[in-house]
A and B are shown apart, each in its own frame.
Chain A
């Protein structure tokens, strides 16, 4: 199996906040272009890679979606060279003080290294308290002189996490934006595997935009491509310090297969049977309503699309030190590829409820 670590590390070394995915989209397009028959971009920026099947046209198609956008921050105000910020997506403010970030300065088209700082309590209203400071009290310092900041930075500029990827013991990668660049890596493995494996169906590899805010990329691409079925790849909560509830699963534990109203039970059963047959370790993840993923949007697109959610355990989700086991990414990639190959021409007709 292809060594995905270098590509995954490059994916989490660039920004690509929700709505501004170009830096990561460029990397993905370059990687996928030789692996697919056609590359295109949706009207709102999602990447569509078409890998054609061997079946007779018109062929059915499966869409495999992974969002490429990441959570981050945005400048709201500039005071004496310091930047006030707000969130893009579900930021955990507890991770912000002391975090290394990049300010994407539109005034000078530069990437400025910076740090998020906590002003002393005496500089804040009493209501700010002495616990976790709300995001409006935090500041970003670029180290530049106020006049330079005024010239380079504008209100609305993006601020992304800047910490570099780490390789930890046990073939584990840590960094920001692994949610959901790790899924992009898994999808890439799937495309690599499909180079030498015959499949009847067309495959749409889709890197969606804006999952972290509105799921816009998922619904719009599903509408444009009208796949017969869809698989969504995203992270499950891995167990870790402070996270040991029923919603969490051990790191390096295998592939998560999700059940719940967002997922078609038939597809789930097929994936489960396949994982069993291939001896790919898997675990059952249960979401009782909104899965919090692209699957929620894709399922209700057009006349409705049978959708399944495939996951990998991700520790410290939505922190800049998210952690994933490379082994799990490989397992997801392999399961996706094998699933694609298992699709017979008439698979859609076999989908049953009871």
Chain B
């Protein structure tokens, strides 16, 4: 099994604490490049800002005869994790340090009043405030504040620029069995890919796509797949766990995933029917290796797998997620054990991938 300890946690913390709003993934890209370069046979940053890193396997050895590889070729496996997170973009300057903003990706406006954010390249501290409760009538107190009623406030003499991105200021925390962060979705996937890339098994050519713009339409993964032309792909993401009690009691039957039950294997979501051969393969590996796993409840939503599966002439694709609670909010919560088991499952799967996995249906 791959190593899992302080070094992995430190990397995750570093990745979670930087801000990378869709289209402005530079800070994560920088960390990823530093991490993967020493292990990569090839690294490129493409036209959209994806980091595309390839690590060739060593077994079976490629023997070249007239420039052609032998038939027992290694499987080209694409792993994808998106670098971007949801956040904000400054769209207008109201003067005196107050700025109008748009939401990038999906954030419920009810999460915004009274929160601290960081703005622009300088990470200028700012807040999103609200009207004092004393000045509201009863009806106003129960109405959600629409986006156009909110401002990012950098302080009266502060400066931000139209076009600046902003993100939640929440810092990474480790609490008992859990971690808390603004951007577990999908830095936990990025950290997973980095680890798997460093410890890649020799039987595959590993194509790691650290993709951009997932939160605004799976845009990076699409071109990444078209570049890599993989035999199969696994999107590594973080999926919501709605494992909360019902207010009026009774059984929660729409939890999507639950914390603590292990990596969530996708079967079907709003954009993808995940390749049944790969779903079965992952399940078998988990069973054999005694790694806890769960199936994400089939339903809506989606990951980069949707874009990857439909690229080129079609790519057999599956999606594996670390569950997290409170998606797209200032603080999400995941269990460390689920992350560890996700790395273990993916590592075990990579080690045992052969071309046969996707040869028959």
Let me know if B129 and A319 touch, CB within 8 A.
yes
Is B126 a contact of A143 with CB atoms below 8 Å? no
Contacts of A6 in B (CB 8 A): none
A123 touches B145 (CB 8 A): no
- Which residues on the A side are within 8 Å of B180 (C-beta)? 113, 115, 143
Contact A119 B247 (CB under 8 A): yes
Interface residues of B in 292-328 (CB under 8 A from A): 325-326
Question: Which of B116, B130, B158, B173 is the one whose CB lies under 8 Å from A113?
Answer: B173
Assess whether A144 is in contact with B125, with CB atoms less than 8 Å apart: no
Q: Is A286 an interface residue (CB 8 A)?
A: no
Contact B156 A252 (CB under 8 A): yes
User: How many B residues, CB 8 Å from partner?
Assistant: 60
Output the nearest chain A residue to B175 by Cβ-Cβ distance: A143
9-residue interface stretch from A90-98, A263-271, A330-338: A90-98
* Min C-beta distance of A266 to chain B, whole Å: 28
Is the CB–CB distance between A145 and B144 below 8 Å? no
Return the contact of B156 from the options A93, A125, A169, A317 (Cβ within 8 A). Answer: A169
Task: Report chain A residues within 8 Å CB of B134.
Answer: 90, 237, 292, 317-318
Q: Does B131 contact A (CB under 8 A)?
A: yes
- The main secondary structure of chain A at its interface with chain B is loop
A118 at the interface (CB under 8 A from B): yes
Task: Answer whether residue A58 sits at the interface, using C-beta atoms and an 8 A cutoff.
Answer: no
Interface residue A132 (Cβ < 8 Å from any Cβ of B): yes
Pairwise interchain contact A241-B116, C-beta atoms closer than 8 A: no
Q: Which residue in chain A gives the minimum CB-CB distance to B130?
A: A319
Contact check, B176 vs A240: say whether CB atoms are below 8 A apart.
Answer: no
Q: Which residues of A contact B97 (CB under 8 A)?
A: 168-170
**A38→B175 CA distance, assembly (Å):** 43
Contacts of B170 in A (CB 8 A): 100
Q: Are A243 and B135 in contact (CB under 8 A)?
A: yes
A170 in contact with B333 given A131-B144, A144-B178, A237-B132 (CB within 8 Å):
no
* Closest A residue to B154 using CB positions: A169
Q: A94-B114, A143-B180, A248-B135 are in contact. List 9 more A-B contacts (CB 8 A).
A: A97-B110, A100-B331, A115-B329, A117-B244, A118-B108, A143-B176, A169-B157, A241-B129, A321-B127
User: Sorted from nearest, which 4 A-B pairs have the closest CB atoms?
Assistant: A169-B158, A168-B155, A95-B114, A170-B157
Sample (12) of A-B pairs whose CB atoms are under 8 Å apart: A80-B244, A82-B245, A90-B134, A98-B331, A99-B330, A115-B180, A115-B326, A143-B176, A241-B98, A248-B135, A321-B114, A321-B127
